[in-house]
Amino acid sequence: MILSDADILDRLEAGDLVVEPLDEPDLQIQPASIDLRLGREFLEFQHANIPCIHPTSEQEVAEYVEETVVDDDGEFILHPGDFVLGTTVETVEIPDDLIAHVEGRSSLGRLAVVVHATAGLADPGYRGQITLELSNLGTAPVALTPGMRISQLTFTELSSPAERPYGEERGSKYQGQEGPQASRIQGDREFGGDQ
Protein backbone atom coordinates (compact mmCIF):
# COMPACT_ATOMS: atom_id res chain seq x y z
CA MET A 1 0.00 0.00 0.00
CA ILE A 2 1.32 3.45 -0.97
CA LEU A 3 0.83 6.10 1.70
CA SER A 4 -1.52 9.00 0.95
CA ASP A 5 -0.97 12.56 2.16
CA ALA A 6 -3.12 11.81 5.23
CA ASP A 7 -1.08 8.68 6.00
CA ILE A 8 2.19 10.59 5.55
CA LEU A 9 1.03 13.34 7.92
CA ASP A 10 -0.07 10.76 10.49
CA ARG A 11 3.33 9.01 10.34
CA LEU A 12 5.20 12.33 10.57
CA GLU A 13 3.11 13.40 13.58
CA ALA A 14 3.67 10.01 15.26
CA GLY A 15 7.41 10.56 14.75
CA ASP A 16 8.27 7.15 13.30
CA LEU A 17 8.72 8.69 9.83
CA VAL A 18 11.05 11.68 9.91
CA VAL A 19 11.69 14.28 7.19
CA GLU A 20 13.59 17.29 8.56
CA PRO A 21 13.58 20.15 8.04
CA LEU A 22 10.10 20.11 6.54
CA ASP A 23 9.82 23.89 6.23
CA GLU A 24 6.70 24.09 4.06
CA PRO A 25 4.50 21.02 4.65
CA ASP A 26 1.54 22.53 2.76
CA LEU A 27 3.77 22.89 -0.31
CA GLN A 28 6.00 19.85 0.09
CA ILE A 29 3.42 17.20 1.01
CA GLN A 30 1.73 16.13 -2.20
CA PRO A 31 -1.27 13.75 -2.55
CA ALA A 32 0.98 10.66 -2.22
CA SER A 33 4.54 11.97 -1.77
CA ILE A 34 6.84 14.51 -0.12
CA ASP A 35 8.86 16.91 -2.23
CA LEU A 36 12.51 17.19 -1.20
CA ARG A 37 14.72 20.23 -1.85
CA LEU A 38 18.13 20.43 -3.49
CA GLY A 39 21.12 20.96 -1.22
CA ARG A 40 24.21 23.07 -1.95
CA GLU A 41 26.82 20.32 -2.32
CA PHE A 42 27.66 18.45 -5.50
CA LEU A 43 30.23 15.84 -6.48
CA GLU A 44 31.25 16.41 -10.09
CA PHE A 45 32.83 13.61 -12.11
CA GLN A 46 35.99 14.85 -13.78
CA HIS A 47 37.16 13.77 -17.20
CA ALA A 48 40.11 11.57 -16.38
CA ASN A 49 42.92 10.45 -18.62
CA ILE A 50 42.68 6.84 -17.48
CA PRO A 51 41.47 3.77 -19.36
CA CYS A 52 38.75 3.05 -16.80
CA ILE A 53 37.74 3.43 -13.18
CA HIS A 54 38.05 0.32 -11.06
CA PRO A 55 35.01 0.51 -8.74
CA THR A 56 36.92 -1.47 -6.13
CA SER A 57 39.64 1.21 -5.84
CA GLU A 58 38.59 3.84 -3.31
CA GLN A 59 41.54 6.01 -4.38
CA GLU A 60 40.52 6.03 -8.06
CA VAL A 61 36.92 6.92 -7.20
CA ALA A 62 38.10 9.75 -4.92
CA GLU A 63 40.42 11.12 -7.63
CA TYR A 64 37.61 11.07 -10.17
CA VAL A 65 35.21 13.34 -8.25
CA GLU A 66 35.51 16.95 -7.15
CA GLU A 67 33.26 18.64 -4.58
CA THR A 68 31.47 21.87 -5.47
CA VAL A 69 29.52 23.91 -2.93
CA VAL A 70 27.09 26.48 -4.33
CA ASP A 71 26.23 29.68 -2.44
CA ASP A 72 22.68 29.85 -1.05
CA ASP A 73 21.77 32.41 -3.71
CA GLY A 74 23.83 30.74 -6.45
CA GLU A 75 23.05 28.08 -9.01
CA PHE A 76 24.59 24.90 -10.34
CA ILE A 77 24.60 24.57 -14.13
CA LEU A 78 23.91 20.99 -15.23
CA HIS A 79 25.19 20.66 -18.78
CA PRO A 80 23.91 18.20 -21.39
CA GLY A 81 25.41 14.77 -20.82
CA ASP A 82 26.64 15.65 -17.32
CA PHE A 83 26.29 13.27 -14.40
CA VAL A 84 26.78 14.70 -10.90
CA LEU A 85 25.88 13.63 -7.40
CA GLY A 86 23.77 16.07 -5.40
CA THR A 87 22.01 15.88 -2.07
CA THR A 88 18.75 16.81 -0.47
CA VAL A 89 18.38 19.50 2.16
CA GLU A 90 16.23 17.11 4.17
CA THR A 91 17.40 14.23 6.30
CA VAL A 92 15.01 11.29 6.40
CA GLU A 93 14.46 8.39 8.78
CA ILE A 94 12.50 5.50 7.31
CA PRO A 95 10.74 3.20 9.81
CA ASP A 96 11.15 -0.58 9.58
CA ASP A 97 7.72 -1.09 8.01
CA LEU A 98 8.13 1.37 5.09
CA ILE A 99 10.28 1.63 1.99
CA ALA A 100 10.75 5.02 0.31
CA HIS A 101 11.04 5.45 -3.46
CA VAL A 102 13.08 8.40 -4.76
CA GLU A 103 11.36 9.89 -7.80
CA GLY A 104 11.90 12.90 -10.03
CA ARG A 105 9.48 15.77 -10.34
CA SER A 106 7.67 15.88 -13.68
CA SER A 107 8.39 19.59 -14.13
CA LEU A 108 12.14 18.87 -14.13
CA GLY A 109 11.71 15.70 -16.17
CA ARG A 110 10.15 17.88 -18.86
CA LEU A 111 13.44 19.81 -18.89
CA ALA A 112 15.32 16.48 -19.36
CA VAL A 113 16.68 16.42 -15.79
CA VAL A 114 16.61 13.06 -14.01
CA VAL A 115 17.39 12.58 -10.31
CA HIS A 116 18.51 8.97 -10.12
CA ALA A 117 20.19 6.43 -12.34
CA THR A 118 19.64 3.33 -10.22
CA ALA A 119 19.54 4.34 -6.55
CA GLY A 120 15.80 4.85 -6.30
CA LEU A 121 15.18 3.30 -2.88
CA ALA A 122 15.61 4.24 0.75
CA ASP A 123 15.40 0.96 2.63
CA PRO A 124 13.52 0.34 5.88
CA GLY A 125 15.74 1.65 8.68
CA TYR A 126 17.66 4.12 6.47
CA ARG A 127 18.65 7.39 8.12
CA GLY A 128 20.41 10.30 6.36
CA GLN A 129 20.23 12.70 3.48
CA ILE A 130 19.39 11.34 0.03
CA THR A 131 22.17 11.34 -2.58
CA LEU A 132 20.74 12.34 -5.95
CA GLU A 133 22.21 11.02 -9.21
CA LEU A 134 21.56 14.05 -11.40
CA SER A 135 21.76 13.87 -15.20
CA ASN A 136 20.83 16.22 -18.00
CA LEU A 137 19.51 14.16 -20.90
CA GLY A 138 18.61 17.24 -22.94
CA THR A 139 20.46 19.53 -25.33
CA ALA A 140 20.53 22.73 -23.24
CA PRO A 141 22.16 23.47 -19.87
CA VAL A 142 19.75 23.68 -16.92
CA ALA A 143 20.30 25.92 -13.88
CA LEU A 144 19.59 24.19 -10.57
CA THR A 145 19.09 26.39 -7.51
CA PRO A 146 19.76 25.22 -3.95
CA GLY A 147 16.48 24.96 -2.06
CA MET A 148 14.38 24.22 -5.15
CA ARG A 149 12.10 21.19 -4.95
CA ILE A 150 14.11 18.62 -6.90
CA SER A 151 12.70 15.18 -6.09
CA GLN A 152 9.94 13.42 -4.24
CA LEU A 153 9.63 10.43 -1.95
CA THR A 154 6.74 8.01 -2.09
CA PHE A 155 6.29 5.46 0.69
CA THR A 156 5.12 1.86 0.43
CA GLU A 157 4.04 -0.05 3.51
CA LEU A 158 5.59 -3.50 3.84
CA SER A 159 3.47 -6.55 4.66
CA SER A 160 5.48 -6.80 7.90
CA PRO A 161 8.38 -4.79 9.37
CA ALA A 162 11.81 -5.70 8.04
CA GLU A 163 13.56 -8.19 10.33
CA ARG A 164 16.99 -6.90 9.29
CA PRO A 165 16.53 -3.20 8.48
CA TYR A 166 19.22 -1.01 6.95
CA GLY A 167 21.63 0.30 9.57
CA GLU A 168 24.72 -0.18 11.68
CA GLU A 169 23.80 -3.74 12.69
CA ARG A 170 24.00 -4.76 9.03
CA GLY A 171 27.12 -2.67 8.39
CA SER A 172 25.16 -0.51 5.94
CA LYS A 173 27.73 1.75 4.32
CA TYR A 174 25.59 4.85 3.66
CA GLN A 175 23.73 4.98 6.99
CA GLY A 176 23.77 8.50 8.46
CA GLN A 177 25.24 10.10 5.34
CA GLU A 178 25.43 13.86 5.05
CA GLY A 179 25.90 15.46 1.65
CA PRO A 180 26.43 13.56 -1.59
CA GLN A 181 28.47 10.40 -1.19
CA ALA A 182 30.61 8.76 -3.86
CA SER A 183 30.40 5.02 -4.41
CA ARG A 184 31.60 2.79 -1.61
CA ILE A 185 31.27 -0.38 -3.66
CA GLN A 186 34.80 -1.42 -2.66
CA GLY A 187 33.27 -2.26 0.76
CA ASP A 188 31.10 -4.99 -0.78
CA ARG A 189 31.95 -8.54 0.29
CA GLU A 190 32.53 -9.74 -3.28
CA PHE A 191 35.34 -7.16 -3.56
CA GLY A 192 37.02 -8.09 -0.29
CA GLY A 193 34.96 -5.86 2.02
CA ASP A 194 32.66 -6.99 4.80
CA GLN A 195 29.31 -5.76 3.49
| Residue 110 assigned to a binding site | yes
CA distance 20 to 18: 6
Would you call the peptide bond into 21 cis, given omega within 30 degrees of 0 as the criterion?
Answer: yes
Q: Is 11 annotated as a binding residue?
A: no
133 annotated binding-site participant: yes
Q: Which residues are bridge partners to 149 per DSSP?
A: 37
174-186 per-residue burial string, b: 16 or more CB within 10 A, e: under 16: bbebebbeebebb
Do the annotations mark residue 106 as ligand-binding?
A: yes
Please tell me whether 168 is known to bind a ligand.
Answer: no
The pairing of strands 76-78 and 113-114 is unpaired
Residues 99, 118, 154, 130, CA torsion sign: positive
Indicate which residues carry an active-site annotation.
Answer: 133
Residue 59 is labelled as binding a ligand = no
174 among the known binding-site residues? Answer: no
Binding-site positions: 105-110, 123, 131-133, 152, 166, 173, 177
Binding-site positions for dCTP: 105-110, 123, 131-133, 152, 166, 173, 177
